Amino acid sequence: MLTSRLRTGAADGERINVEHKGDPVLLRWTSLVSLGDSFTEGMDDPGPGDTYVGWADRLAGMIAEQAPEFRYANLAVRGKLLQEIIDEQVPLAVSLKPDLVTFCGGGNDILIPNSDPDALAEVYEVAVADLRSAGCDVVIFTGFDTRSTPLLRSIRGKVAIYNSHLWSIAERYHCRIVDLWSMHVLHDRRAWSEDRLHLSPAGHQRVALKTAQILGLTDDHAWNEPWPALEQADWVTQRKADLKWAREHVVPWIGRQLRGESMGDGLAPKRPELLPLARCADEI
C-alpha cells in the first residue's frame, strides 16, 4: 500500500511528488492502461456484480487513493490469445495515449500443444515496439513457474523459454518487468483460486504489491510476506483434490480448445475508457 501523501492537482504529464518513508519519489504517470487476458482482467478476484477486481485494479487503486487525477483503463478480456490482445487492445491503448501500459499475454497460447514460444515472443516484441513508439512506458510480466501445478508442469520448459525472450525484450525497449516466475510466494495454494489457473484475491494483492515495488511506488516487500502456517493434507486427500480439479476445470478447458471457444467470447473490456478510478484501494 502507498502510505505516503501525493501532491494532487498536477496537470497531465507533470510529475507528482511522492514522499515515501521520508524519501521523495517522482511519480511520472498520471494514466494507466492495462492489456491482457484473464490474469489482468482479474479472475478470480470477485468484485461488484459479475465483475472482477484483480491486481491491475488494485494497483490503480493504490495510486488513485491519494492521486484523484489519476486515470485508468483495463482492456483485458479472459481467454484472449496473444494475437487477439495485439489486434484488439494495443491499437486502442495507443489511441488513449496513456503514460503507462501494463502488457501481459501469451499464457493462453503456451497452454496450446505445439505452440512455439520463440514465435510468440517475436509477435510480442512488435507490440512492445508499437507501445514504446507511442511514448508509453511499458511494464511486462513473465509467465508463472508451473512446477507446483499438476498437469501444467509439462509446459514449464516452454514458459521458461518464453520468459527468457521477455527479459531480452524488456532490456531492448527499456521496459520494467515483473518476474512472476521468481515469486515463490505464489507457490502456496492460497495464492490460487479453485481452478488453479487464476489467482485468488490474496494472490492478486501480492502481484499488485510486487508491481508497485517495481514501479518505485514503494520500497517495502509486503508482497513477499510469509503465509501463515497451514496444515498439509495427506497424499490421498491431495490426489483426490487433483482428480476433482482435472474433472471440473481441465477437461472443460480442453473441450473449449477443441471447439475453438473461449471464455471471453462476446465479452467487452470492463474499463474501456481512460477515466478516474472511482474507488480507493481500501474499497477494493
pLDDT digits (tens, 9 = 90+) for 63-102: 888 777 899 999 999 999 999 999 999 999 999 999 999 9
CATH number of the structural domain 16-225+234-283: 3.40.50.1110
The arithmetic mean of pLDDT across residues 170-185, rounded, is 97
pLDDT on residue 206: 97
Higher pLDDT, 5 or 106: 106
Give yes or no for a contact between 145 and 181, defined as CB atoms under 8 angstroms apart: yes
Give yes or no for a contact between 2 and 63, defined as CB atoms under 8 angstroms apart: yes
Continuous segment of H or E residues that includes residue 35: strand 31-35
Q: Say yes or no to pLDDT of 185 above 80.
A: yes
Closest to 151 (Cα-Cα) out of 196, 109, 96: 196
Q: Say yes or no to pLDDT of 253 above 70.
A: no
Question: Within the chain, what is the greatest distance between any pair of CA atoms?
Answer: 60
Q: Say yes or no to pLDDT of 53 above 70.
A: yes
Local confidence band at 17 (pLDDT 50, 70, 90 cut-offs)? very low
Cα 267 to Cα 244: distance, rounded to the nearest angstrom: 28
Q: Where are the domains of the chain?
A: 16-225+234-283
Give yes or no for a contact between 214 and 182, defined as CB atoms under 8 angstroms apart: no
Helix (H, G, I), strand (E, B) or coil at 178: strand
pLDDT on residue 20: 40
Q: DSSP letter at 199?
A: B
pLDDT on residue 261: 67
Q: Say yes or no to pLDDT of 117 above 70.
A: yes
Threshold 0.85, pTM exceeds: no
pLDDT on residue 57: 97
Q: Say yes or no to pLDDT of 3 above 70.
A: no
